[in-house]
Protein backbone atom coordinates (compact mmCIF):
# COMPACT_ATOMS: atom_id res chain seq x y z
CA UNK A 1 0.00 0.00 0.00
CA UNK A 2 1.10 3.55 -0.80
CA UNK A 3 2.89 5.34 2.07
CA UNK A 4 2.12 8.88 3.08
CA UNK A 5 4.68 11.58 3.50
CA UNK A 6 2.99 14.76 4.49
CA UNK A 7 4.48 17.86 6.02
CA UNK A 8 1.90 19.68 8.07
CA UNK A 9 2.44 21.26 11.45
CA UNK A 10 -0.96 20.24 12.84
CA UNK A 11 -1.75 16.66 13.87
CA UNK A 12 -5.55 16.74 14.24
CA UNK A 13 -7.76 19.33 12.58
CA UNK A 14 -11.20 17.85 13.18
CA UNK A 15 -13.08 16.35 16.12
CA UNK A 16 -14.04 12.72 15.89
CA UNK A 17 -16.74 12.63 18.46
CA UNK A 18 -20.08 14.36 18.92
CA UNK A 19 -19.24 16.67 21.80
CA UNK A 20 -22.93 17.47 22.48
CA UNK A 21 -23.29 13.82 23.45
CA UNK A 22 -20.17 14.09 25.60
CA UNK A 23 -21.72 17.15 27.28
CA UNK A 24 -24.69 15.00 28.27
CA UNK A 25 -22.47 12.17 29.46
CA UNK A 26 -20.44 14.63 31.54
CA UNK A 27 -23.65 16.20 32.81
CA UNK A 28 -22.21 19.67 32.21
CA UNK A 29 -24.44 22.27 33.86
CA UNK A 30 -24.81 26.01 34.07
CA UNK A 31 -21.95 27.48 36.05
CA UNK A 32 -19.60 24.47 35.80
CA UNK A 33 -15.82 24.72 35.55
CA UNK A 34 -14.57 22.21 32.98
CA UNK A 35 -11.12 21.02 32.02
CA UNK A 36 -10.64 19.55 28.54
CA UNK A 37 -7.96 18.67 26.06
CA UNK A 38 -8.04 21.36 23.37
CA UNK A 39 -7.08 19.35 20.22
CA UNK A 40 -8.56 21.32 17.29
CA UNK A 41 -10.50 23.58 19.67
CA UNK A 42 -13.86 22.11 18.81
CA UNK A 43 -14.05 20.14 22.05
CA UNK A 44 -13.98 23.32 24.10
CA UNK A 45 -16.17 25.30 21.69
CA UNK A 46 -18.92 22.68 21.66
CA UNK A 47 -18.82 22.32 25.44
CA UNK A 48 -20.01 25.93 25.62
CA UNK A 49 -23.38 24.70 24.36
CA UNK A 50 -23.98 23.20 27.83
CA UNK A 51 -23.47 26.63 29.44
CA UNK A 52 -20.47 26.06 31.74
CA UNK A 53 -19.04 29.17 33.39
CA UNK A 54 -15.44 28.38 32.56
CA UNK A 55 -13.54 26.05 30.26
CA UNK A 56 -9.83 25.47 30.57
CA UNK A 57 -8.61 23.92 27.30
CA UNK A 58 -5.06 22.60 27.46
CA UNK A 59 -2.92 20.93 24.87
CA UNK A 60 0.66 19.75 24.87
CA UNK A 61 1.20 20.80 21.27
CA UNK A 62 1.24 24.49 20.56
CA UNK A 63 0.13 23.98 16.93
CA UNK A 64 -3.16 22.55 18.19
CA UNK A 65 -3.67 25.71 20.23
CA UNK A 66 -2.87 27.91 17.23
CA UNK A 67 -5.63 26.09 15.39
CA UNK A 68 -8.02 26.32 18.34
CA UNK A 69 -7.40 30.05 18.74
CA UNK A 70 -7.84 30.68 15.03
CA UNK A 71 -11.18 28.89 15.15
CA UNK A 72 -12.30 30.88 18.21
CA UNK A 73 -11.24 34.21 16.68
CA UNK A 74 -12.90 33.29 13.39
CA UNK A 75 -16.14 32.55 15.19
CA UNK A 76 -15.91 35.79 17.13
CA UNK A 77 -15.60 37.91 14.00
CA UNK A 78 -17.38 36.04 11.23
CA UNK A 79 -20.94 35.13 10.45
CA UNK A 80 -21.71 31.43 10.40
CA UNK A 81 -21.76 31.37 6.64
CA UNK A 82 -18.37 33.14 6.35
CA UNK A 83 -16.81 30.90 8.99
CA UNK A 84 -18.03 27.76 7.21
CA UNK A 85 -16.44 28.94 3.97
CA UNK A 86 -13.26 29.80 5.85
CA UNK A 87 -12.79 26.40 7.53
CA UNK A 88 -13.71 24.49 4.38
CA UNK A 89 -17.30 23.31 4.63
CA UNK A 90 -18.39 22.27 1.14
CA UNK A 91 -14.76 22.92 0.38
CA UNK A 92 -14.91 22.96 -3.41
CA UNK A 93 -17.46 25.77 -3.45
CA UNK A 94 -14.93 28.28 -2.06
CA UNK A 95 -11.76 29.40 -3.83
CA UNK A 96 -8.56 29.01 -1.77
CA UNK A 97 -7.79 32.71 -2.19
CA UNK A 98 -11.17 33.64 -0.78
CA UNK A 99 -10.17 31.82 2.42
CA UNK A 100 -6.99 33.88 2.52
CA UNK A 101 -9.01 37.12 2.16
CA UNK A 102 -11.23 36.03 5.05
CA UNK A 103 -8.10 35.24 7.07
CA UNK A 104 -6.76 38.72 6.33
CA UNK A 105 -9.89 40.27 7.80
CA UNK A 106 -9.58 38.41 11.12
CA UNK A 107 -5.85 37.89 11.70
CA UNK A 108 -5.23 41.34 13.19
CA UNK A 109 -6.83 40.22 16.45
CA UNK A 110 -4.81 37.02 16.86
CA UNK A 111 -2.01 37.04 19.44
CA UNK A 112 1.44 37.58 17.91
CA UNK A 113 2.62 33.95 17.99
CA UNK A 114 -0.65 32.61 16.56
CA UNK A 115 -0.61 35.17 13.76
CA UNK A 116 3.03 34.45 12.93
CA UNK A 117 2.24 30.76 12.74
CA UNK A 118 -0.69 31.16 10.33
CA UNK A 119 1.10 33.81 8.25
CA UNK A 120 3.83 31.21 7.74
CA UNK A 121 1.25 28.52 6.88
CA UNK A 122 -0.96 30.31 4.38
CA UNK A 123 -1.17 27.13 2.30
CA UNK A 124 -3.11 25.58 5.20
CA UNK A 125 -5.51 28.51 5.19
CA UNK A 126 -6.01 28.08 1.44
CA UNK A 127 -6.83 24.43 1.90
CA UNK A 128 -9.38 25.02 4.67
CA UNK A 129 -8.26 24.42 8.23
CA UNK A 130 -10.61 21.47 8.64
CA UNK A 131 -8.43 19.36 6.37
CA UNK A 132 -4.88 20.21 7.39
CA UNK A 133 -4.15 17.70 10.14
CA UNK A 134 -1.81 14.85 9.40
CA UNK A 135 -4.56 12.43 10.32
CA UNK A 136 -7.10 14.15 8.07
CA UNK A 137 -4.62 14.28 5.20
CA UNK A 138 -4.12 10.57 5.47
CA UNK A 139 -7.83 10.08 5.08
CA UNK A 140 -8.18 12.69 2.36
CA UNK A 141 -5.15 11.71 0.31
CA UNK A 142 -5.25 7.98 0.61
CA UNK A 143 -8.63 7.04 1.99
CA UNK A 144 -10.79 8.80 -0.50
CA UNK A 145 -8.78 7.56 -3.46
CA UNK A 146 -9.10 3.99 -2.31
CA UNK A 147 -12.65 4.06 -0.97
CA UNK A 148 -13.95 5.63 -4.17
CA UNK A 149 -12.45 2.80 -6.19
CA UNK A 150 -14.48 0.32 -4.12
CA UNK A 151 -17.85 2.09 -4.05
CA UNK A 152 -18.78 4.57 -6.77
CA UNK A 153 -20.30 8.00 -6.17
CA UNK A 154 -23.90 6.85 -6.48
CA UNK A 155 -23.50 3.92 -4.09
CA UNK A 156 -21.75 6.20 -1.60
CA UNK A 157 -24.50 8.83 -1.90
CA UNK A 158 -27.15 6.17 -1.41
CA UNK A 159 -25.35 4.80 1.66
CA UNK A 160 -24.92 8.27 3.21
CA UNK A 161 -28.61 9.10 2.74
CA UNK A 162 -29.78 6.08 4.75
CA UNK A 163 -30.82 6.32 8.38
CA UNK A 164 -34.54 7.03 8.52
CA UNK A 165 -35.05 3.29 8.59
CA UNK A 166 -32.20 1.58 10.44
CA UNK A 167 -33.23 -1.86 9.23
CA UNK A 168 -32.73 -0.68 5.66
CA UNK A 169 -29.37 0.88 6.54
CA UNK A 170 -28.11 -2.36 8.10
CA UNK A 171 -29.36 -4.41 5.15
CA UNK A 172 -27.61 -2.11 2.68
CA UNK A 173 -24.44 -2.32 4.75
CA UNK A 174 -24.50 -6.09 4.86
CA UNK A 175 -25.45 -6.75 1.25
CA UNK A 176 -23.77 -3.92 -0.67
CA UNK A 177 -21.27 -1.97 1.39
CA UNK A 178 -19.41 -4.38 3.61
CA UNK A 179 -17.42 -6.26 0.95
CA UNK A 180 -14.06 -7.87 1.62
CA UNK A 181 -12.35 -5.11 -0.44
CA UNK A 182 -14.02 -2.47 1.70
CA UNK A 183 -12.95 -4.18 4.92
CA UNK A 184 -9.38 -4.58 3.73
CA UNK A 185 -9.14 -0.98 2.53
CA UNK A 186 -10.65 0.43 5.71
CA UNK A 187 -8.25 -1.51 7.91
CA UNK A 188 -5.27 -0.42 5.78
CA UNK A 189 -6.20 3.25 5.90
CA UNK A 190 -6.69 3.21 9.65
CA UNK A 191 -3.37 1.47 10.18
CA UNK A 192 -1.71 4.08 7.93
CA UNK A 193 -3.39 6.84 9.95
CA UNK A 194 -2.15 5.30 13.19
CA UNK A 195 1.45 5.66 12.05
CA UNK A 196 1.34 9.31 13.01
CA UNK A 197 0.44 8.36 16.58
CA UNK A 198 3.02 7.57 19.23
CA UNK A 199 3.80 3.86 19.33
CA UNK A 200 2.68 3.62 22.94
CA UNK A 201 -0.86 4.61 21.99
CA UNK A 202 -1.62 1.20 20.56
CA UNK A 203 -0.68 -1.84 22.63
CA UNK A 204 1.60 -4.24 20.80
CA UNK A 205 -0.87 -7.14 20.91
CA UNK A 206 -3.76 -5.21 19.39
CA UNK A 207 -4.93 -5.74 15.84
CA UNK A 208 -5.58 -2.03 15.42
CA UNK A 209 -7.06 -2.29 11.91
CA UNK A 210 -9.56 -4.92 13.04
CA UNK A 211 -10.47 -2.91 16.16
CA UNK A 212 -11.18 0.10 13.93
CA UNK A 213 -13.24 -2.00 11.56
CA UNK A 214 -15.29 -3.42 14.45
CA UNK A 215 -15.96 0.10 15.70
CA UNK A 216 -17.02 1.21 12.21
CA UNK A 217 -19.36 -1.78 11.93
CA UNK A 218 -20.96 -1.00 15.28
CA UNK A 219 -21.43 2.64 14.36
CA UNK A 220 -23.24 1.78 11.13
CA UNK A 221 -25.54 -0.57 13.02
CA UNK A 222 -26.42 2.05 15.61
CA UNK A 223 -26.13 5.59 14.24
CA UNK A 224 -28.22 6.81 11.29
CA UNK A 225 -25.88 7.59 8.38
CA UNK A 226 -27.80 10.73 7.50
CA UNK A 227 -27.03 12.13 10.98
CA UNK A 228 -23.39 11.06 10.98
CA UNK A 229 -21.18 13.95 9.85
CA UNK A 230 -18.05 11.94 10.62
CA UNK A 231 -19.06 9.32 8.08
CA UNK A 232 -19.59 11.95 5.46
CA UNK A 233 -16.03 13.24 5.71
CA UNK A 234 -14.59 9.77 5.66
CA UNK A 235 -16.40 8.81 2.47
CA UNK A 236 -16.53 12.05 0.50
CA UNK A 237 -13.51 14.06 1.73
CA UNK A 238 -15.91 16.94 2.31
CA UNK A 239 -18.24 18.14 5.02
CA UNK A 240 -21.58 19.89 4.84
CA UNK A 241 -23.43 17.89 2.21
CA UNK A 242 -27.19 18.37 2.58
CA UNK A 243 -26.56 20.74 5.47
CA UNK A 244 -25.19 18.00 7.75
CA UNK A 245 -22.73 19.88 9.90
CA UNK A 246 -20.84 19.22 13.12
CA UNK A 247 -22.74 20.64 16.12
CA UNK A 248 -20.78 23.89 16.53
CA UNK A 249 -21.50 24.96 12.95
CA UNK A 250 -25.25 24.40 13.13
CA UNK A 251 -27.56 27.40 13.06
CA UNK A 252 -28.37 28.54 16.57
CA UNK A 253 -25.46 26.64 18.11
CA UNK A 254 -22.93 28.80 16.28
CA UNK A 255 -24.44 32.03 17.58
CA UNK A 256 -24.75 30.67 21.13
CA UNK A 257 -21.11 29.60 21.19
CA UNK A 258 -20.08 32.97 19.74
CA UNK A 259 -21.76 34.74 22.65
CA UNK A 260 -19.85 32.59 25.18
CA UNK A 261 -16.34 32.52 23.68
CA UNK A 262 -14.89 34.62 26.50
CA UNK A 263 -15.39 31.68 28.88
CA UNK A 264 -12.57 29.61 27.33
CA UNK A 265 -8.92 29.85 28.34
CA UNK A 266 -6.45 28.21 25.94
CA UNK A 267 -3.34 26.96 27.71
CA UNK A 268 -0.30 25.12 26.46
CA UNK A 269 0.46 22.46 29.06
CA UNK A 270 0.81 18.80 29.76
CA UNK A 271 -2.58 17.95 31.21
CA UNK A 272 -0.96 15.66 33.79
CA UNK A 273 1.17 18.47 35.12
CA UNK A 274 -1.66 20.96 34.81
CA UNK A 275 -3.90 18.85 37.04
CA UNK A 276 -1.11 18.22 39.58
CA UNK A 277 -0.35 21.97 39.73
CA UNK A 278 -4.03 22.73 40.14
CA UNK A 279 -4.09 20.56 43.28
CA UNK A 280 -0.82 21.89 44.67
CA UNK A 281 -1.84 25.51 44.18
CA UNK A 282 -5.30 24.90 45.71
CA UNK A 283 -7.01 26.17 42.57
CA UNK A 284 -10.80 25.80 42.33
CA UNK A 285 -11.84 22.23 41.58
CA UNK A 286 -13.34 21.08 38.30
CA UNK A 287 -16.90 19.89 37.67
CA UNK A 288 -15.78 17.70 34.80
CA UNK A 289 -12.58 16.64 33.05
CA UNK A 290 -12.33 15.37 29.49
CA UNK A 291 -9.03 13.58 28.95
CA UNK A 292 -9.92 12.74 25.33
CA UNK A 293 -7.45 10.13 24.07
CA UNK A 294 -4.58 11.29 26.27
CA UNK A 295 -4.82 8.25 28.57
CA UNK A 296 -3.37 6.18 25.75
CA UNK A 297 -0.02 7.84 26.18
CA UNK A 298 0.48 6.50 29.69
CA UNK A 299 0.62 3.22 31.49
CA UNK A 300 1.02 1.75 34.98
CA UNK A 301 1.86 4.17 37.78
CA UNK A 302 1.81 7.20 35.46
CA UNK A 303 -1.74 6.44 34.43
CA UNK A 304 -2.79 5.80 38.01
CA UNK A 305 -1.24 9.12 39.02
CA UNK A 306 -3.21 10.92 36.29
CA UNK A 307 -6.53 9.25 37.12
CA UNK A 308 -6.15 9.69 40.88
CA UNK A 309 -5.15 13.33 40.53
CA UNK A 310 -7.99 14.00 38.11
CA UNK A 311 -10.37 12.75 40.82
CA UNK A 312 -8.65 14.83 43.52
CA UNK A 313 -8.85 17.96 41.39
CA UNK A 314 -12.61 17.54 40.89
CA UNK A 315 -15.73 18.15 42.94
CA UNK A 316 -17.85 15.19 44.06
CA UNK A 317 -20.25 14.20 41.28
CA UNK A 318 -17.90 15.48 38.55
CA UNK A 319 -17.42 13.23 35.54
CA UNK A 320 -14.13 12.10 34.16
CA UNK A 321 -14.29 11.07 30.51
CA UNK A 322 -11.89 9.62 27.99
CA UNK A 323 -12.17 7.87 24.63
CA UNK A 324 -10.63 4.78 23.20
CA UNK A 325 -11.24 1.93 20.86
CA UNK A 326 -13.15 -0.92 22.50
CA UNK A 327 -10.34 -3.36 21.84
CA UNK A 328 -7.81 -0.93 23.28
CA UNK A 329 -9.74 -0.59 26.53
CA UNK A 330 -7.19 -2.71 28.34
CA UNK A 331 -4.87 0.31 28.16
CA UNK A 332 -6.65 1.51 31.29
CA UNK A 333 -6.63 -1.65 33.42
CA UNK A 334 -9.04 -1.94 36.34
CA UNK A 335 -6.37 -1.61 39.02
CA UNK A 336 -5.64 1.92 37.78
CA UNK A 337 -8.96 2.95 39.30
CA UNK A 338 -8.06 1.49 42.70
CA UNK A 339 -7.48 4.11 45.34
CA UNK A 340 -8.98 6.90 43.24
CA UNK A 341 -12.03 8.61 44.68
CA UNK A 342 -13.86 7.55 41.58
CA UNK A 343 -16.44 5.06 40.40
CA UNK A 344 -16.21 3.84 36.82
CA UNK A 345 -19.65 4.20 35.25
CA UNK A 346 -21.41 1.22 33.76
CA UNK A 347 -20.76 1.10 30.04
CA UNK A 348 -23.80 2.74 28.50
CA UNK A 349 -25.69 1.19 25.70
CA UNK A 350 -24.39 2.33 22.38
CA UNK A 351 -25.25 5.98 21.85
CA UNK A 352 -24.12 8.81 19.67
CA UNK A 353 -21.37 9.52 22.19
CA UNK A 354 -19.65 6.54 20.67
CA UNK A 355 -18.48 7.48 17.21
CA UNK A 356 -17.05 5.61 14.25
CA UNK A 357 -13.70 6.15 15.84
CA UNK A 358 -13.98 5.92 19.61
CA UNK A 359 -15.88 4.45 22.47
CA UNK A 360 -16.34 6.75 25.46
CA UNK A 361 -15.60 5.74 29.03
CA UNK A 362 -16.80 7.78 32.00
CA UNK A 363 -16.40 7.73 35.75
CA UNK A 364 -17.98 9.69 38.59
CA UNK A 365 -15.94 11.43 41.29
CA UNK A 366 -17.05 10.32 44.78
C1 LIG B 1 -6.16 12.40 19.35
S2 LIG B 1 -6.24 14.12 19.77
C3 LIG B 1 -7.84 14.24 20.23
C4 LIG B 1 -8.71 13.98 19.11
C5 LIG B 1 -10.08 13.96 19.65
N6 LIG B 1 -10.43 12.69 20.12
C7 LIG B 1 -11.01 14.46 18.67
O8 LIG B 1 -11.89 13.78 18.27
O9 LIG B 1 -10.81 15.62 18.36
C10 LIG B 1 -5.44 14.19 21.27
C11 LIG B 1 -4.95 15.57 21.66
O12 LIG B 1 -4.30 15.45 22.91
C13 LIG B 1 -3.13 16.24 22.90
N14 LIG B 1 -2.25 15.68 23.93
C15 LIG B 1 -1.54 14.54 23.88
N16 LIG B 1 -0.88 14.34 25.05
C17 LIG B 1 -1.19 15.37 25.86
C18 LIG B 1 -0.86 15.74 27.20
N19 LIG B 1 -0.05 15.00 27.93
N20 LIG B 1 -1.37 16.89 27.69
C21 LIG B 1 -2.18 17.67 26.95
N22 LIG B 1 -2.54 17.37 25.69
C23 LIG B 1 -2.06 16.24 25.15
C24 LIG B 1 -2.64 16.14 21.48
O25 LIG B 1 -1.78 17.22 21.16
C26 LIG B 1 -3.95 16.17 20.70
O27 LIG B 1 -4.32 17.47 20.38
Structural domain contains residue 37:
no
- Mutating to test ligand 1, I would choose from 37, 132, 307 the residue with most ligand atoms within 8 A of its C-beta, which is 37
pLDDT of residue 4: 45
Buried b (16+ CB within 10 A) or exposed e, 78-87: bebeebbbbb
Structural domain contains residue 157:
yes
Give the Cα separation of 225 and 78 in Å (integer): 30
198 C-alpha to center of ligand 1: Å? 11
Residue 64 alpha carbon, nearest atom of ligand 1 = 27
DSSP bridge partners of 342: 365
279 C-alpha to center of ligand 1: Å? 22
| Contact (CB, 8 A) for 64 and 57 | no
Residue nearest (by alpha carbon) to ligand 1 atom 15: 294
18 C-alpha to center of ligand 1: Å? 16
How many other C-beta atoms can be found within 10 angstroms of the C-beta atom of residue 351? 13
35 C-alpha to center of ligand 1: Å? 13
Structural domain contains residue 13:
no
Residue nearest (by alpha carbon) to ligand 1 atom 25: 61
Encode the chain in three state secondary structure.
CCCCCCCCCCCCCCCCCCHHHHHHHCCCCCCCEEEEECCCCHHHHHHHHHCCCEEEEEECCHHHHHHHHHHHHHHHHCCHHHHHHHHCCCHHHCCHHHHHHHHHHHHHHCCHHHHHHHHCCHHHHHHCHHHCCHHHHHHHHHHHHHHHHHCCHHHHHHHHHCCCCHHHHHHHHHHHHCCHHHHHHHHHHHHHHHCCCCHHHCCCCCCHHHHHHHHHHHHHHHCCHHHCHHHHHHHHCCCCHHHCCCHHHCCCHHHHHHHCHHHEEEEECCHHHHHHHHHHCCCCCEEEEECCCHHHHCCHHHHHHHHHHHHHCEEEEEEEEEEECHHHHHHCCHHHHCCCCEEECCCCCCCCCCCCCCEEEEEEEC
Structural domain contains residue 48:
no
Structural domain contains residue 357:
no
| Contact (CB, 8 A) for 305 and 272 | yes
Q: Which domain holds residue 209?
A: 135-243
Structural domain contains residue 348:
no
Kindly give the confidence (pLDDT) of every residue in the chain, 366 residues in length, as a single tens digit, with 9 standing for 90 and above: 444 444 678 989 998 888 999 999 999 999 999 999 999 999 999 999 999 999 999 999 999 999 999 999 999 999 999 999 999 999 889 999 999 999 999 999 999 999 999 999 999 999 999 999 988 887 777 788 889 899 999 999 999 999 999 999 999 999 999 999 999 999 998 888 777 766 666 667 778 899 899 999 999 999 999 988 889 888 988 888 777 899 999 999 999 999 999 999 999 999 999 999 999 999 999 999 999 988 878 877 888 899 999 999 999 999 999 988 766 665 566 777 777 788 888 876 667 777 888 888 899 999
Residue 270 alpha carbon, nearest atom of ligand 1 = 20
Give the Cα separation of 292 and 251 in Å (integer): 26
* Domain count along the chain: 1
Structural domain contains residue 228:
yes
- Ligand 1: residues whose CB is within 6 Å? 12, 15-17, 37, 39-40, 58-61, 64, 270-272, 292-294, 297, 323
Structural domain contains residue 190:
yes
- Mutating to test ligand 1, I would choose from 12, 139, 269 the residue with most ligand atoms within 8 A of its C-beta, which is 12
Amino acid sequence: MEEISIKTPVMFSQTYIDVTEINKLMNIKTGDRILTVAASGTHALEKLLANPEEIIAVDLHVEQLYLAKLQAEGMRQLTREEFCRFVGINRRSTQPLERVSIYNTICGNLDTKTKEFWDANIASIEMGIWYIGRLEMTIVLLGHKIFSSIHDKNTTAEFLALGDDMKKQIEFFETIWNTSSWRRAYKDIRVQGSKILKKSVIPANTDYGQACLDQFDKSIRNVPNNKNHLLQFLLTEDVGRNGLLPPYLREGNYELIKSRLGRIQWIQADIVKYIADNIEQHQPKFDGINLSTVVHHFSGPQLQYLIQNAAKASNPGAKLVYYNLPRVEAVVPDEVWDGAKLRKDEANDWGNADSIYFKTVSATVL
